[in-house]
């Protein structure tokens, strides 16, 4: 009985390790933005002030990305 339990635990351990290694190897590389990338963000009108603050901070860290906004009512977006 102990041999069977040990064998089962070993199979689970090997399977888990194989899955972990396989998933980490299949992760695609991060996408790098091309120069002068433009993003259009649609958001509720009530988020105008917050989105302006986010835009300032984001563009300081990613100067090659231009963000423009489309504000409107939540139901219309």
Separation of CA 68 from chain center:
21
Nearest C-alpha neighbor of 66 from the set 33, 43, 42, 29: 33
Residue 26 lies in a domain: yes
Count of Cβ atoms closer than 10 Å to residue 55 Cβ: 17
pLDDT per residue as tens digits for the range 7-24: 888 888 888 877 777 766
Residue 77 lies in a domain: no
Residue 33 lies in a domain: yes
- Point out the residues of the chain with pLDDT beneath 70: 1, 23-27, 33-34, 76-77
- pLDDT number for residue 55: 92
Domain of residue 65 covers: 2-72
The number of distinct structural domains making up the chain is: 1
């Amino acid at each position: 009985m102990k041999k069977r339990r040990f064998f089962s635990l070993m199979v689970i351990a090997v399977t888990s390790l194989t899955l972990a290694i396989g998933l980490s190897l299949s992760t695609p590389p991060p996408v790098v933005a091309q120069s002068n990338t433009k993003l259009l963000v649609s958001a509720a009108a009530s988020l105008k002030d917050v989105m302006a603050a986010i835009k300032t901070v984001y563009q300081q860290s990613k100067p090659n990305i231009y963000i423009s906004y489309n504000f409107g009512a939540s139901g219309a977006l």
